[in-house]
Structure 1
Amino acid sequence: MPPLTSPARVEDETFIRMDVVDTLRAAGFDVLEAANADEAIQMLERNPDICLIFTDVDMPGSMNGLKLAAAVRDRWPPVRIIATSGHVKIRAGDLPGGARFIPKPYQSAQIIDAIRELTWAA
């Protein structure tokens, strides 16, 4: 199994973020967490080991998860992207090429499998 670097979880709902972070850490990932896109951008600027972001689409702040995904693809093209939402319908072209969308509610195994697949393909 190849070594995995750090995914970052971006979610404004504290308890949802904490639950996913705990699940991903239990699966063996080093996880950083951000409450919004601005925090995620700051983390990416400081942490070159981030290999993937897992972001909610519907977030307050200067940009939502779709805009964050576009910013990440522009500034950090190697970083993989997984987006999720229970409210927003994603259409073709909403996310950068190669990004994944997993609708809420999701199973933990779906996220873990997607992270492994995207990071192993890197």
Structure 2
Amino acid sequence: MSGRMDVLIVEDEVLLAMDIEAMVEDSGHTVLAGATCVEEVKALPRDINPQLALVDVHLAHGSSGFDACRIIQQRWPDALVVFVTANASKIPNDFLGAHGVIAKPFSHAGVISTLKYLAEGVFDPPPTLARPASFQPSPHLRQRWVG
């Protein structure tokens, strides 16, 4: 592995959030915090420094992962933001500045290979690993890694 990433999980389905957390930790990374809605993202401590945020599109209390993405980008501009959603077709072409999407339903192997790929890109860009089929990168990711 290239390095240990600090990860933020924004997911309103508790069991799914726990499953994602287990995959992140099993891959050797650390979950810094979790949130189920935009208000919880706003309430997160400013002194955490996630390198990756995994964000669902439809969140609790009718809030949007798109709004959560904007807050994360403002507060932690160096963090990669990856949507994890069953509604990948609803993500705008510009990904709202996010770096990619993992479509639900996903496999454990798909998420773990995506985490390896992203970690390599964070610590030694661009990654030399093949892009996992489970991960659709945005144009912003290529710009970030290649310049």
More deviation in 29-38 or 13-22?
29-38
Residue type of the alignment partner of 2:15:
F
So what's the TM-score if we normalise by structure 2?
0.69
Q: Superposition pairs for residues 39-50 of structure 1, below 5 Å?
A: 39-43=40-44, 45-48=46-49, 50=50
Does the 8 Å CA contact 2:24/2:115 hold for their aligned counterparts? no
5 Å matches for 1:34-113?
34-43=35-44, 45-48=46-49, 50-61=50-61, 63-87=63-87, 89=89, 90-97=91-98, 99-113=99-113
Percent identical residues: 22
Q: TM-score, normalised to structure 1's length?
A: 0.81
Q: Max radius of gyration: which structure?
A: 2
Residues 38 and 62 in structure 1, CA contact (< 8 A), matched pair in contact too: no
Task: Determine helix, strand or coil for the equivalent of 1:25.
Answer: helix
SS of residue paired to 1:8: strand
- What displacement does 1:84 show? 1.8
Spell out, residue by residue over 1:42-73, the C-alpha distance to the aligned partner (whole angstroms, 9 max, x if none): 3351312x111001100134741111112222
What stretches of structure 2 of length at least 5 have no aligned partner? Answer: 123-147
Instruction: Give the letter for the 1:2 counterpart.
Output: S
Measured at CA, do residues 119 and 39 of structure 1 come closer, stay the same or move farther in structure 2, by a change above 3 Å?
farther
**CA RMSD across the alignment:** 2.2
Structure 1, unmatched stretches of 5+, are none
